[in-house]
Amino acid sequence: MKKENKPKQSLKKVLSNNWFILKLSFQAAPFFMCFMIFEVIKQQVLVFLEHTYGIQYVLEAAEFGRPFSTVLCFLVIIMAAWGVSFIFSGIYQNRVSLKGMPKIEKKLKDMMYAKVKELDLECYDNPEYYDEFVLSISEAEKSILRTHQIVESFFAGLTALITRGIFFLSADALSFVFVLASFGLTFLFSQILNKVIFQNRVEKNPSERKRAYVHRVFYLNEYAKEVRLNPEITNRLYEEFDSTNQQIRDIERKYAKKRSILSFVTNYLTNDFISDVIYITYLIFRAAVKHVISYSSVVVLWNTSGGLKRSLREITKVFPQLSENSLYIEKIRNFLRYEQKITSAKNLPVPQTRGTLELKDVSFGYSEKDGYILKNVNLTIHPEEKVALVGYNGAGKTTLIKLIMRLYDPNEGQILYNGVDIREYDVNGYRDHIGTIFQDFKIFAATVGENVVLDEDEASIEKKYKPEVLQALDYSGFTSRLEKLPQGLATELTTEFEKDGIDLSGGESQKLAIARAFYKDARIVILDEPSSALDPIAEYQLNKTMLQAAEGKSVVFISHRLSTTRHANRIYMMEHGRKIRIKQQFPEVLYQRLKL
């Protein structure tokens, strides 16, 4: 497997990336962020008062014979302070945090989902980009959480450094040398350790994605029938699962020794040995031999050094954590910075009148490696014309439709609508001009009405669009099934979220999907295998109603069925990415050639 090294980052980039999440957090939930920082500082101050200053106060009271009443009064004040602190902590955890975090996550997700809608379809065809895309989506919430944890660690460490540092300097300034030595060494080795952890994470990501895919096959409803009808496939899946597990184990084993050594050096040699062994020896020497500090001070300094050591250890980890978090955030920001390639040259409005769609010497390939799928294709679709595209699988029919829809742009040639290159029209306006149902359509976990309209909720559909939706469903032949549904248009589809949801058959789902094209007031209707899941009677009815519903519109069929193509005014035969002939009728010789 190709090794992916952790890229070098400048200090400016590290800070900029983490500031991106921090700024977003303050914009989405400023009160939550301020409360979070206050909570961290408050906690550290109270810990210092109780475990450092408080211990010193009590020991000195015993050593120097101070009245017990003063000690009792001090303890009552500390207990009262903690009581008030618990009230604030409860408000933070049970109210502020529960409201604040979802706001921040929603803001980032809204940005990412908006960008997903702008992604060109070619992004999904690029495995490298798609891996980055999936990683950025999966790491979005984790990056927010990591950033907040880093902020908490920073303010906790800073507060501890200020409070305990002042105490150290006033009690024994030389003690701070041990703290600084531990700080510097831990910082160095923590940075190295985090680089190794990141390399490990990135290298096993493809294998984890593959293992997750195999896992999904075993529990998703859409694979259930195939797995049961073809039980031998499970052997292949078991092999894939074992193989990916082995790959992940090999990667973990590859980094295990290095991680163990670095963890030992970071957590013991640079922390415990210096701070515990050497420092305690120094304190005993100062008290027993030099007599410059009291034994009470030894206890307090030793006890305080443990807390200061842990706090500084957190500070030591802040920059490596920022660096690691920055790498994930950079992927998110790269995703958000993606510039759409399918854009409009002039943002021209699409004419509302019926127009001619013309392809001139159109050639296209998904990649240079695979070569052209379509080569020098020329065809014309006149207003109100019913056209059929036929040909073998892989002949380029669906690809041609994607070009017409402007999901891709041709590598060579032009596609004209009303004599204007479609690249000059407003992209969304042009796509809205065309109603398309692909053969791999999807039914969403929503109501029947929402599945037809797609961009409105059920309340709006019931109030504004119900007649149009019912008419579209009638055109597609879904009315008889709709009448049997318990809540009509408001019936929930799939059992993804509703236990009483309805699962439609393949043919019923296809009729519902076709209703989308009828509902949409489009000048051109494109149907990719519109009747593939229908029985002959339903297919005949669909073809009849489609022609009625598409009156005044241009219709393009992609089909392997003779009954569908017979309704076309013109038939385009495609082979090897070329349009090789046009037929007004579908002759028997062509039927035999296609082996329909």
CATH number, position 426: 3.40.50.300
* Three-class DSSP category at 491: coil
Based on the fold, state whether residues 269 and 389 are members of the same structural domain: no
pLDDT at 82: 92
Q: Give me the domain span that covers residue 405.
A: 354-442+523-596
Over its length of 596 residues, how does the chain's per-residue pLDDT go in tens digits? 344 455 678 889 999 999 999 999 999 999 999 999 999 999 999 988 888 888 888 887 887 788 888 889 989 999 999 999 999 999 999 999 999 999 999 999 999 888 888 888 888 777 777 777 888 888 888 999 999 999 998 998 889 888 888 888 888 888 777 777 776 777 778 778 888 888 888 888 888 888 888 888 887 877 787 777 777 777 888 888 888 889 899 998 888 888 888 888 877 776 667 667 777 788 888 888 888 887 777 888 877 877 777 777 777 778 888 998 998 899 889 888 888 888 898 889 988 888 899 999 999 988 877 788 888 888 889 888 888 888 877 788 888 989 999 999 999 999 999 999 999 999 988 988 888 877 778 888 889 999 998 888 788 888 888 888 998 888 888 888 899 888 899 899 988 888 888 888 888 888 888 888 888 878 888 887 766 656 666 666 666 666 666 777 888 888 766 666 777 788 888 877 565 554 544 444 444 444 43
Residue 373 belongs to some domain of the structure: yes
Q: Decide if 497 is inside a domain.
A: yes
- Residue 461 is classified by DSSP as I
Query: Which pTM value belongs to this model?
Result: 0.67
Instruction: Say if 66 falls within a structural domain.
Output: no
Among the three residues 459, 475, 503, which one is the final residue of a domain in this structure? 503
**Same-domain pairing of 562 and 435:** yes
Do 555 and 483 fall within a single domain? no
Q: Check if the beta carbon of residue 196 is closer than 8 Å to that of residue 346.
A: no
140: Cβ contacts below 8 Å, ≥ 6 apart: 105, 108, 109, 112, 332
From residue 374, how far is each of 125, 379, 555, 565, 579 by CA, in Å? Answer: 17, 13, 21, 22, 9
The residues, ordered by sequence, that sit 6+ positions from 320 with a Cβ below 8 Å of its Cβ are 187, 190, 191, 193, 194
- Determine whether 145 is exposed, middle or buried from the number of CB atoms within 10 Å of its CB (0-12, 13-18, 19+): middle
Q: What are phi and psi of 428, to 5 degrees?
A: -65, -35
Alpha-helical segments (H) within 337-416? 397-404
Domain final residue, candidates 276, 292, 308: 292
Residue where a domain terminates, one of 248, 267, 292: 292
* 342 three-state secondary structure: coil
Across 554-577, b (16+ Cβ under 10 Å) vs e yields bbbbbbbbeebbeebebbbbbbeb
- Would residue 400 count as lying in a domain? yes
> Same domain for 452 and 436?
no
DSSP 291: -
In a domain, 47, yes or no: no
Kindly provide the b/e burial profile for residues 408-447, where b requires at least 16 CB atoms within 10 angstroms of the residue's own CB: bebeebebbbeeeebbebbbeebbebbbbbbeeeebeebb
pLDDT of residue 3: 41
Does residue 419 sit in the same domain as residue 488?
no
Same domain (yes/no): 417, 495: no
Asked if the structure places residue 5 within a domain, the reply is no
Two tokens, residue 24: 């977003």
Q: Do 391 and 536 lie in a common domain?
A: yes
Q: State whether 404 and 460 are in the same domain.
A: no
pLDDT score, position 580: 52
- Whether 211 and 241 have beta carbons less than 8 Å apart is answered as yes
Q: Are residues 449 and 437 in the same domain?
A: no
**Domains in the chain: how many in total?**
3
Residue 12 inside a domain? The answer is no
Contacts of 365 (CB under 8 A, 6+ apart): 371, 372, 373, 374, 411
Query: Token pair for residue 459?
Result: 């309340």
Listed in sequence order, the residues at least 6 apart from 164 whose beta carbon sits closer than 8 Å to its beta carbon are: 48, 52, 304, 307, 308, 311
The rounded distance, in Å, linking the Cα atoms of 453 and 516 is 7
275 shares a domain with 196 = yes
Question: Residues with Cβ < 8 Å from 290, sequence gap 6 or more?
Answer: none
* 492 in any annotated domain: yes
- Say yes or no: 432 and 577 in one domain: yes
Helix and strand numbers (H, E) in the chain are: 23, 10
Smallest CA-to-CA distance from 274 within 182, 161, 177, 187 is with 182
Angle made by CA atoms 146, 150, 154, in degrees to the nearest 5: 175
Q: Looking at the structure, tell me whether residues 431 and 493 fall in a common domain.
A: no
Residue 415 β-bridge partners: 359
